Structure 1
C-alpha cells in the first residue's frame, strides 16, 4: 500500500464515526463549547495516534489477543456503519421500507468488495476520495452564507465532566478506526507522515462541519436533530437555483461508511475465510438487525457507550502492539 493510499484511508477512517454518533454526541455534551473541546480532543487524538504508530499492529494481529482486539474493533465498526445507514434510510429516505431491506444491499456490497480483495478497495478509495472532496467543497461554499456568528455565543463550560467526555470521545472517534489500516501494514511499510496527514485532513473537515452546524443552528437547536450533519446539507443552495441536494451530498458520509466497512470486512476475512466468512457475516447481520436496528433502546446504548468501547479496545491494542514490537526487536 503506497503512501498516498495510506493517507486516503486515514481520511475516511478518521471521519466515519462522526456520522450518526460522533457529532450529535459531542454536541450533546459540549454545546457551543464543542468547538474548543474538539480542538483539544484533536490534540489528544494526535498524541494517541503517535503512540499507535509506535506499535507493530500487523504482527500483533497474528497473536490471539491481537486478533480478539482488532476483530472486535472491525465487527464494532461494521455494526455502527450498518446501524447508521439503516436509521438514516428509514428516517429520511425510505420511510415505509423495512430497515432490513435497506441494509441488505449494503451488506451484499461489502461482501462483494471483500471477495474482490484489498487492491479493489484501494482503487475504489482513490475514486471516492475525489467525489468526497468535490461534494464537500460544494457543501461548505454554499452553506457558509447561512452562518450567524451570534450562534457561537455564549461559549462557556457548563459541566467539567461533560467537557471531559466531549474531549476524550472526539479523540477516540477520530483515531480508533485507524487501527484497521495499521493492521494491514507491516512495520516497514507504515508511512507515518501520510497517515498523520490523513488524520489532519479528516479532522479538519469534521471541524468545519461542527463550525457550520453550530453557526447555522446554534448548539441548543442542533441537539433537536437526530442527524444534524445530514440536516445541515438541507441548507445547501447553489446559485439560488438548485435546492434539496442533501440526498446527493450525503454521499460524503456514505463513502466513509463504505470504505470503513470494506477495510473491516477484509480484516475479518483474514480470520474467517471461505464459507466461514458468509456464515459469520450472516450471523452478524442478524445480530445487528434484531439487537440494534429493531430495538431503539439498544441503539441509544450504542450511542452512549461507543466511545467507551473504542477507548478500551484502543488502549489495550496500543499496549499490546507496543509490547509485541519491543519483544520482536529483542
Structure 2
C-alpha cells in the first residue's frame, strides 16, 4: 500500500476496525475511507455497490461483522448467519466488480473443528464438526473464506483471509449478555469489588483453555499481511500461548484488586475444550505478537475505568 492509497476499513467503529484505523494513521496512511453502519448498511447490496462505485477503494480491510459471546451466538443463530453472510458477500463481490487491488477478509478461530488437534493448523479447516454454540457464525466465516478463494481462482483477484484468535482491548464490548469472556470477567470483577460482593460467578468449569490476542497486535498483523502476504491459503493470527479460563479469572481478579471468591457454574456450557492456534506460518512470514496478556489486561481495565468515568461525568 502507498501512503496515499484509497483504503476502505469496513467496520471502522468496531474493536477490530478501529484498531486497524489507529495503526494505519500511525503508519502515515492518509486516504482512509470510512462509513458507519448508520450511513452504509453493508447488508444491502445496492448501497454497497453505490459506495464502491463512488469511491473505488484500492485496498479493503473487511473487519465488519456481527459478533458476540457464547450466549448471543447460541441465542441469535439466524442473525449471526444472515447478517455476516450478507455483509461479506456484498463487500467481497463489490471489491471484485470495482477492481480493488487487494482485500483482507477477517475470519475467526471458531471456523476450526471443535476437536481439532492442538495447536490448530490452517489445514484443519473442514476436517471435523464445529462447536454447536457458534456454528452459524463459523459457517458464515467459512463461506467468506471460500468466496475469497473462489474469486481468486476464477478471476485472479488478490483476496486474502486471516484467522485471528480471541481478541481483547480498546473498544471492546462489556455487555454481560453479549460480550466475550475476557471483557465480561473484567466487568464482573470490577462490579464485585465496587459492590463488595463475596463471590463472582464464572460460567462453566474453568477448565477450557483459550488464547487471547490484543487487538492492537491484530491490527499490526493485518497491515503487515496486506503489505506482505499474497497467498490464497488462510493464515492464523495469534500469540501461540493459551490459558485456562480458571487461571484467566484469577489473573483478572488480581489485576482488578477483588478479594472475594470465584465460583464456577458448571451448569453453563464450556464451549470448545481448547482453542490454540498454530502461528508457525505467520511467524515464518515475519510477524509476531508483542503485547503480553497481563500488560494487555492492565491497559484494558484502565480503559474500562475511563469509560465508566466518562459516563459518570
For the aligned pair, the TM-score class normalised by the smaller chain equals: under 0.3
Q: TM-score, normalised by structure 2?
A: 0.27
Instruction: Specify which structure has the higher proportion of helix.
Output: 1
Q: TM-score, normalised by structure 1?
A: 0.26
Instruction: Specify which structure has the higher proportion of strand.
Output: 2
